[in-house]
Structure formats: structure tokens, C-alpha cells
Structure 1
Amino acid sequence: MDMRTRITTAMKEAMKAKEAARLSTLRLINAAIKDRDIALRGEGDDSGVAGDEILGILGKMVKQRQESARAYEEGGRLELAEKELQEIVVIEEFLPRQLDADESEAAVVDAIKSVGAESIRDMGKVMGVLKSKYTGQMDFGRVGPLVKDRLG
């Protein structure tokens, strides 16, 4: 089952179960995907958003909510922070399992070996390999410094 079908099915189930908060988050996911579809059509691409790109959209949504939750907590708005955290749980249902620190380290080492990277100049190649294999499974903002340390 492709990602769009999974999201649509989850929306229908949330409607039937009258889960308002879950339904709201699923609608946000759907809207983000449709926005990207529209943007692609404007660029002349009628094929729509592919699976990997949907994972990228979901990853971005999680990151935005983590930042918002942190800001709300710092501002003493715990009820809003809790809402953001609940949305993260729903979004993460559609993301593959995140790699832990050891798995990320191993993936970086493998990527460096696969492209034969020897210096910091090869960082783009390494990150390209990681993004093609692990989209949605790792935070590339955290992995970048790992790659830099290995190559530097």
C-alpha cells in the first residue's frame, strides 16, 4: 500500500472513530502533500509527489513540531506543547523507524566507503548516498557533523 493510500485509510478510520485530534493531524499531512503536488504542477511535472518526497515532507513536519513544542515549553504554554507532541506521534506512524546513534554511525561509515570519500570535499557525495538510502530514517542535520568528523 502506497503512502497516500495509508494516509487516506487512516483519515477514514479516524473519522469513523471520531478521533478529532488525529483526524486534524492527518488532514494537515494530506494538505502538505497536496500543496507539494500543486507546486510540482506549476513546474510542469504532472506526476505528483513520490514516496520518498512524502517521507521528506513528513520529516519536515515532525521537525517543525519539535521546534514549536520546544518554543511553547520555554514560553510556559504546556497545553500547546502537548498538542504539538501529539501531532508528532501521529505523523511518525507513517515514517520508517528512525536509526539509533550506532546505526547512523554505521550508515555513515558504509556511505563513505561506497563513494571512496577521502576528504571534506567528498561530503556532498556521502550525504547524497545517505539521503537516497535513509530518507525519513535519520535526521540529516545531526548526521552532517558525523560525516564531517569522519572526513575531516
Structure 2
Amino acid sequence: MSDLKTRIGEDVKTAMRAGDKARLGLLRMLTAELKQREVVESIELTDTVVLAAIEKMLKQRRDSESQFRAGNRPELADKEAEEIRVLSEYLPQQLTAEELDALLAQAVAETGAQGGKDMGKVIGWLKPKVQGRTDMGKLSGLVKAKLG
């Protein structure tokens, strides 16, 4: 059983007791996403699986927030930003730029990557080490720049 899933379950109960409807709704969506992964994919929920679900929800909310801001809908953008803040509480400590650069250099050295064609190798090496600790979209851009 995932420690993260247990923590989310406890936070659902806390939000219920506190009457925090916005937080409760978001955590229930997350719980439903986790349950679906568990049932449909027939997998045991590890922290890695839970983090992947959280990252998926974060990406959706970041996209929505930027679209709402571009569409001059600040009230909806603010709601998305608040959900991003709540979901981010479940992520591990984010990597600093220096830590990310060091891991990227190590990945290139260990995979023997020569150029853009080796981007998949580098991302494959990095992904398990940075899961939940950095934005994978940004990481992809960094890898592309480094190998470009």
C-alpha cells in the first residue's frame, strides 16, 4: 500500500471534518483517479503510480490555468492555481536547477548520448530519478537543448 495514498485518504477525512469543500472535491477526484488506475490497470498503487496520477492532474490544471488567463477568466484561473497548490503538496521536494543540471550531465555521460537521436535514452535514464521532483516538460526541453 502506498504511503502517499494513505496520506491522501487521511486528508480527505480532514477536509470533510473541516468543511473545506474545494479541497475535498479535488482530493475526491484524485482518489477516483487512483481507484480507476488500480482497477482498470490491475496494479497495486505504489508511490510512483500515485505521483504519476498527481503529475497528470497537475499538467491538466496548468494547461487550464494558462488557457483561462489567456481567455481573461481570472476567477477560473485562480481556482486552477489553488488546485495546483493543493496537488503540489503531495509532491516530493523539487530539484534545484543545479541538481537537475548535475543529473542531466550524469545521464548524458552514462548513456553515451551524442545528439538529438539519443534523447529517449537520456529521458529514460532520468525519469525514475526525477519522477515527481521536476516538470517533465521542462526537463524534456533541457535535454533537447543539451543534446541539440
User: Do these two structures clear the TM 0.5 threshold for a shared fold by scoring above it?
Assistant: yes
Matched, 1:67 2:68: no
Q: Over residues 41-91 of structure 1, what are the superposed CA-to-partner deviations in whole Å (9 max), with x where a residue is unaligned?
A: 3xxxxx423211211111111111011111111222211111111111111
Go from structure 1 to structure 2 and tell me whether the alpha carbon gap of 1:147 and 1:22 turns closer, same or farther (over 3 Å shift).
same
Point out where structure 1 has 5 or more consecutive residues left out of the alignment: 42-46
Residue 26 of structure 1 aligns with an amino acid whose one-letter code is L
Partner of 1:132, secondary structure, is helix
How far apart are the structure 2 equivalents of 1:143 and 1:70? 19
Instruction: Specify the code of the residue in structure 2 equivalent to 1:60.
Output: K
Supply the distance in 2 between the matched residues of 1:63 and 1:95 (Cα, whole angstroms).
Answer: 13
Confirm whether residue 151 of structure 1 aligns to residue 147 of structure 2: yes
What's the counterpart of residue 53 of structure 2? 57
In the alignment of these two chains, the number of paired residues is: 147
Q: Report the counterpart of residue 10 of structure 1 in structure 2.
A: 11
Equivalent position amino acid for 2:16 in 1: M
What SS does the corresponding residue of 1:11 show, helix, strand or coil? helix
Q: Which residue of 1 aligns with 2:112?
A: 116
Residue number in structure 2 paired with 1:141: 137
Q: Which residue identity lines up with residue 110 of structure 2 in the other structure?
A: S
1:102 equivalent in structure 2:
98
Amino acid in structure 2 at the alignment position of 1:110: Q
Letter in 2 for 1:99: L
- What residue in structure 2 maps to residue 44 of structure 1? none
1:128 Cα deviation from its structure 2 partner: 0.9
Question: How many Å apart are 1:101 and its aligned residue?
Answer: 2.7
Q: Which runs of 5+ in 2 are unaligned?
A: none
What is the TM-score of this pair, normalised by structure 1? Answer: 0.87
Give, in angstroms, the shift of residue 40 of structure 1: 0.6
Identity among equivalent positions (%) equals 41
